[in-house]
A and B are shown apart, each in its own frame.
Chain A
Amino acid sequence: KQEVTQIPAALSVPEGENLVLNCSFTDSAIYNLQWFRQDPGKGLTSLLLIQSSQREQTSGRLNASLDKSSGRSTLYIAASQPGDSATYLCAVRIDRGSTLGRLYFGRGTQLTVWP
């Protein structure tokens, strides 16, 4: 069974800092990896999707990298802002048969950026 771990569980930083959130997974036979943010009481907003053949994806101040062989992904947030405060979730999709549709989620990193 795929296990996804996110470190740290919580992070509190002043505005302007560059941040790295970590995600690791046990089964390297992944199809793709997706990073989400979740605001309190809300659903998940997709941030970045990295296919297994890719090394990284960028969107604005966000950059996600993937090292499939070592089972790791990082989400880099540049010049953090208070509006970035949310829970960040990492999810992987395994490249196996009937379970190909599902995502396996980590527990998330709760980020607080203070002014």
Chain B
Amino acid sequence: GAGVSQSPSNKVTEKGKDVELRCDPISGHTALYWYRQSLGQGLEFLIYFQGNSAPDKSGLPSDRFSAERTGGSVSTLTIQRTQQEDSAVYLCASSLGQTIQPQHFGDGTRLSIL
């Protein structure tokens, strides 16, 4: 497709389980970003990739969160031992380059931890 694709669109899981969220950026976009949107916090940056490397992962809230990107394309955000406070919408964005280009967002994955 033409836009950023995220899957699943919704995920409900039990506390303590691991989850994987997937992001497929716009073809040719070298930069990829993960954000989290929750009611109490607004939109928070998590991590960004330039190619397969992550120059800035300072937004990851704990060591239970990790992300990788392979082939300069698809990225996976993994949350281990999920907690209720992890419930949020996880948004992925991509851009042509790091700086002057706009970021384009997917529709997000709504994660609910029971």
The residues of B that contact A98 with a CB separation of less than 8 Å are: 55-56, 58
Identify which of residues 11-35 in chain B touch chain A, using a CB-to-CB cut-off of 8 Å.
31, 33, 35
Identify which of residues 26-64 in chain A touch chain B, using a CB-to-CB cut-off of 8 Å.
31-32, 34, 36, 41-46, 49, 51
Q: Are A34 and B98 in contact (CB under 8 A)?
A: no
Given A101-B56, A102-B48, are A49 and B102 neighbors across the interface (CB < 8 Å)? Answer: yes
Q: Are A43 and B106 in contact (CB under 8 A)?
A: yes
Q: Closest CB of chain B to A110's CB: distance in Å?
A: 13
Chain B interface size band reads 20 to 34
Given A101-B48, A101-B98, A102-B56, are A34 and B91 neighbors across the interface (CB < 8 Å)? Answer: no
Chain A interface size band reads 20 to 34
Q: Are B55 and A101 in contact (CB under 8 A)?
A: yes
Partner of B99, one of A31, A45, A46: A31
The residues of B that contact A36 with a CB separation of less than 8 Å are: 105
Q: Are B45 and A102 in contact (CB under 8 A)?
A: yes
The residues of A that contact B8 with a CB separation of less than 8 Å are: none
Given A99-B58, A100-B98, A101-B56, are A46 and B45 neighbors across the interface (CB < 8 Å)? Answer: no
Identify which of residues 29-51 in chain B touch chain A, using a CB-to-CB cut-off of 8 Å.
31, 33, 35, 42-45, 48, 50
25 interchain pairs, CB-CB under 8 A: A31-B100, A32-B99, A32-B100, A36-B105, A41-B107, A43-B106, A43-B108, A44-B91, A44-B93, A44-B105, A45-B105, A49-B102, A98-B58, A100-B99, A101-B31, A101-B33, A101-B55, A101-B56, A102-B48, A102-B56, A103-B33, A103-B43, A104-B45, A107-B42, A108-B42
Closest 3 CB pairs of A and B: A105-B43, A43-B105, A101-B48
B residues in contact (CB < 8 Å) with A? 4, 31, 33, 35, 42-45, 48, 50, 55-56, 58-59, 91, 93, 98-100, 102-108
Other than the given A103-B35, A103-B43, 12 more pairs (CB < 8 A) read A34-B102, A36-B105, A44-B105, A46-B104, A89-B43, A91-B43, A93-B99, A98-B58, A99-B58, A102-B56, A104-B45, A108-B42
